A and B are shown apart, each in its own frame.
Chain A
Amino acid sequence: MNAQLFALAMFDGIAYAALVFMVAVGLTLIFGVLRILNVAHGSFYAIGAYTAASIGGAIFAAGFSPWLAFPLLFVAAALVGILLGGPIERLLLRRIYAKEDALQLLVTFAVFMILEDVQRLVWGVQPYFEATALQQLGNLEVLGVFYTKYQLIFLPIVAVIVLIGLRLFLRRTLSGKLILAVTEDRETATAMGIDADKVYLLTFIVGAALAGFGGALASATTSVVPGMGADMIVLSFAVVATAGLGQIEGAAVTALLIGLGRSFAVYLMPELEVLIPYLIMLLVLLVRPEGLFGAVRTRKI
């Protein structure tokens, strides 16, 4: 493997890891608080991508500034979080928190299936291309490789900002503290006056918005097609399980590990590309069943 291929694999891996992290961190946040493994999270990612691509396509065709592609990322994320995440938590998930895990998984899987069809109904099956954000930033030559600044610089920086921002939000703001308190002990949090229902709703909206944000960011780098949500949810499950459920920093490190593993496989052993993330997960979980960063915790009854 020469230096250029090595650089390409690195850059691909980092850019991909940034996107996977965005989805995985929302998934792990929701699991940490609501104790629900949300399969529909993949749909939030896909719908975020479709939203950004279709709104972007419409406004750029109408002659608006291409720089609007960047604020549009946040608009897509907010739309997914508030219009999709909010009602799903409020009307559906709230009814099943007390039910067994298998049922919760089936319900979110059903939501995922429904949303898959909704995407086909709304956006059809033709791929969408909307790379304005990527083109706006241009390219960069590093180690003899030309790479887009969007993927090499913008995506990793955004991922780091989300990681730090989420940490600050959870530790420094009252809303964040309430989320941490409910995560640790719902009953005691309620005894402090915390309305756990509201915290659940807020967490789910934030988590869904992060997935939508990941999708919006991804839409500039790839064609938006049916099935992209399924690919992403499986991969981010692998990241979250490898990191340890509920681990935010762990999800970042693991996303990088799995992103790099996958991209190096593409160049070295292409036939293993799909396998590598799960191989990493398998190896980690064999040695540490609680995940790389998970702590063994006995849950009280």
Chain B
Amino acid sequence: MLAFEGVDVSIAGVQILRGVSFEVSAAQTVALIGRNGAGKTTTLRTIMGFTEVSGKIRFQDRDLGAMAPAKRPGLGIGYAPEDRRLFSAFSVEENILMPGEVAGFSEQALKAGLERVYDILPELKEMRARPAGMVSGGQGKMVALGRALMIGSQLIMLDEPFQGLAPALARRYADALRDLRDRDREVTLIITESNPALLRRFADHAFVIERGEVRPGSLDSEKDVA
């Protein structure tokens, strides 16, 4: 459903991705493993359209590269950036609703989407009215996941979701992902992580990214990232 074909990306004159080619099939959970600075975030930002790209990116047989960045979420792509990036001017619930409202969801679709988010992440319901600027870092990660779930009917991309989470919260987050996977077998998940152990027994496939190059990897051989 998603394919990179010989993708090069440079940011401010520095080449970050080098001839990256890989393919993700629909309904899979894919881990993208790599150290800090290897290019994980750049890969996700490239899918969202925030980088200058040479090479081809296909999404469900569309040329994603030719599509304006603001149009891409409308394809059903939800994205939770690493550092949460919530809109502090709005409440938790307004943040979650935002991508659905922008995509022009009907009242019913918004309500159904919100219910799905609260089913998977009940803790968000309790803090729905809280200003998003007032939630803790870990809670913010949950909100960012909820916001990605709102629009991500096809593909959900999570950038280092476990980064900086306390162990209990990390476990809770992983449970929520498993719950999501159980409810929705069709959606494709791409999760970046520097520690492969966290995604073991969870991801179907792994790619390793090293110095801007992507190759198939395995979550069992931790030395892949050392």
Contacts and interface: CB of A to CB of B under 8 A. Distances in A.
A184 B98 CA distance: 14
B50 A181 contact: no
Interface string B32-72: 00000000000001001110000000000000000011111
Nearest to A185: B85
B101 A185 contact: no
Contact of B89 (A180, A187, A193, A196): A180
Contact of A192 (B49, B50, B88, B99): B99
- State which size class the interface on B falls in: 20 to 34
Contacts of A189: 87
Contacts of B90: 177, 180-181
Contacts of A184: 87-89
Interface stretch (B73-81, B190-198, B200-208, B218-226): B73-81
A285 B49 CA distance: 40
Contacts of A181: 87, 89-90, 98
Interface string B76-108: 000101000101111000100011011100000
Given A181-B98, A185-B87, A192 B73 contact: yes
B142 interface: no
A34 interface: no
Nearest to A187: B50
Contacts of B89: 171, 180-181, 183-184
Contacts, number: 59
Interface in B115-169: 147, 151
Nearest to A196: B70
Given A180-B89, A180-B90, A185-B85, A190 B69 contact: yes
A174 interface: yes
Nearest to A301: B12
Contacts of A190: 48-50, 69-70
- DSSP majority for the A interface? helix
Given A174-B101, A181-B87, A184-B88, A193 B71 contact: yes
B20 to A, nearest CB: 20
Interface centre among A180, A184, A189, A191 (most CB of B within 10 A): A191
A249 B1 CA distance: 48
Contacts of B73: 191-193
- State which size class the interface on A falls in: 10 to 19
Nearest to A188: B85
A192 B98 contact: yes
Contacts of B69: 190-191
A189 B45 CA distance: 13
Contacts of A183: 89
A101 interface: no
Contacts of A177: 90, 94, 98, 101
Nearest to A189: B87
28 contacts: A177-B101, A178-B102, A180-B87, A180-B89, A180-B90, A181-B87, A181-B89, A181-B90, A183-B89, A184-B87, A184-B88, A184-B89, A185-B85, A185-B87, A187-B85, A188-B81, A188-B85, A188-B87, A189-B87, A190-B49, A191-B81, A192-B98, A192-B99, A192-B147, A192-B151, A193-B71, A193-B99, A193-B102
